Structure 1
């Protein structure tokens, strides 16, 4: 795998797979509702790590609803603005009469008429000030109406500066709206006396109520819960380990290395997608080439800085021969977990890709790997 053309082909394949992963994300739609001034915009920006709700990416859908969407972002947010609820009797006949006057209900009905899963409202966050004395009946009626439409509703207590008051309100909401998927207390922005909290819990709770396929777009787009990204990325590594276990028993000596590296490109692509790293930035090339270079050196039994190859029994004697499934699985797991660690450093801005050289990045990857290798079960036997 020293041939430059082979590396370039693998690099191009990896970029193509990353691009495909991004393009094939099923769009997710969130309805963010609640009365004016409860902090919906702050909540949205905290979850997605961008000033989405305060910029020009939103366009009016109705007088009361703004669609927040932008190119390359697989989440569409329907943000109610200036919402003021008036008391209405919510029996069936009254709902039918008021439906044409309520922007939220008109939106839901319009979405329900379409057949595509991309058009559904997949979850609703109903925001209530955590310092409110109570929730009004008209709000309860609207929340129950949303639930009756089959939409998971998470009640979000925003601006929960007063812990005692917000906990009391949470208990009340669990009693009066028992069918809500969850009640989550949050403080999206820290105050002078209280650290921000609750946003990660909201993200985890939202992920749990989303259907498979839809939740992938959410993991990709949210930026506040890195642990969720790492957990989902680890599932990819586990799957890749199993695949490379089989590839390791390739029948033709010397053919298993490129096969295994080809399988690695899919793992790298999926993990990159989960962390939402922008492949359009030139620095991604440095990451991918460094990953492939380290991987190629390991499966070829070449020495690496820090003696990584020595940590995997048998790897130094492989040469051009057959690589066992166990060795291939260990290498894949170590590289995958190392890549997760690198992506974590990138998205948390602890590593600046624009300021690191390829050699420095390779050294960083090699330095991270040893802490993952000892985590494999001792019963793993190397052929």
Structure 2
């Protein structure tokens, strides 16, 4: 196969891999409930950023619930509007009447009646002001009802300007509702006197309770926790390293870069999807050319110091032939971790894939290699 044809196939395969990862994301349905004014919208924006904030109030489902969603985005949020709860007598007639009138219960009943899994409520965030003196009895009743229907509930104490009081309320709730998944104390946005906190904890607690097949969609969609994205991306890198161990690469006629990069296409696609970076087809060439530039430098020893060459056993002699599976695994691991950092630079707005040249990105990736190679060779 001609070199130019190999390059084009590599670009297309990588683009297809990213597209496939994004298209295979399963729908995640979150119900966020709580009284008016507790800061539900602020919470949503803090976690999902501008991915959902420009959708407005969402599509009305009932008088009290709206659906916030966006084409091509796997998260759908049922947001209660002006929900006010009243105490219910504990008899069959009263409970039945309450279910028929309570919008949250009606929604849960309706989605549970369908055979499709993709419209199930996967988690409930129940928001209560952290400044509240206590949780109301009707709220406790509703939360217990939801838990009884096997839907995980995380109580989110919002607007927790006084952390001491919020922690007291948290302990009280844990005693009153022992089957709750957790109570997370948050301040979703900075105030004049306090920095925002608790969002990472809410993200991690949510990740724990989601079904395995839904977790990737949540990691992809949430915009607040790089730590979670990084953790999941490193799992992908480790899997790719294991797959490459013992395989090895044989450079032939200058086509060594495409041959090696072909083995990393799935890894690059998964990492890109985890970070939710929307790479257009014309940007794929920039990314792939940059990665090929890294391989070319490693193979030919260009743009690399002698110290870097010493970090990879056997790398100094690979220009003449075989790259062992062990060396290939090390290169795969370092490349994957460097690419993870590149994705974070893109999300931070420090690297613009549309205006940065392949050579510039290659230099960024090469500069990141020494951070990981000693760790790789030490294992």
TM tier relative to shorter chain: over 0.9
| Secondary structure, counterpart of 2:14 in structure 1 | helix
Residue 20 of structure 2 corresponds to residue 13 of structure 1:
no
Q: 1:247–1:256: 8 Å Cα contact kept in structure 2?
A: no
Give 1:106 shift.
1.2
Q: 2:233–2:271: 8 Å Cα contact kept in structure 1?
A: yes
Match of 1:267 in 2: 267
How large is the RMSD of aligned CA atoms in angstroms?
Answer: 2.1
Mapping of 1:1-383 within 5 angstroms? 3-50=3-50, 52-53=52-53, 55-56=55-56, 58-248=58-248, 254=252, 258=258, 260-280=260-280, 282-298=282-298, 301-307=299-305, 308-319=308-319, 321-378=321-378
Give 1:323 shift.
2.1
Q: 2:312–2:377: 8 Å Cα contact kept in structure 1?
A: no
| Secondary structure, counterpart of 2:184 in structure 1 | strand
Counterpart CA distance in 1 for 2:99 and 2:337 is: 51
Give 1:347 shift.
1.2
Counterpart CA distance in 2 for 1:90 and 1:355 is: 64
Counterpart CA distance in 2 for 1:199 and 1:90 is: 36
Structure 1 residues 50 and 199: alpha-carbon distance in aligned structure 2, compared to 1, 3 A threshold: same
Give 1:286 shift.
1.6
TM-score, length-scaled by structure 2: 0.93
Counterpart CA distance in 1 for 2:110 and 2:376 is: 51
List alignment gaps of at least 5 residues for structure 1: none
Deviates more, 1:320-329 or 1:202-211: 320-329
Q: 1:170–1:183: 8 Å Cα contact kept in structure 2?
A: yes
Deviates more, 1:344-353 or 1:178-187: 344-353
Residue-by-residue CA offset, 1:276-295 (whole Å, 9 max, x unaligned): 00023743442232123323
Q: 2:15–2:281: 8 Å Cα contact kept in structure 1?
A: no
Report the count of equivalent residues: 375
| Secondary structure, counterpart of 2:126 in structure 1 | strand
List alignment gaps of at least 5 residues for structure 2: none
Residue-by-residue CA offset, 1:95-140 (whole Å, 9 max, x unaligned): 3222221111111011111222211100000000000011100000
Counterpart CA distance in 2 for 1:293 and 1:94 is: 70
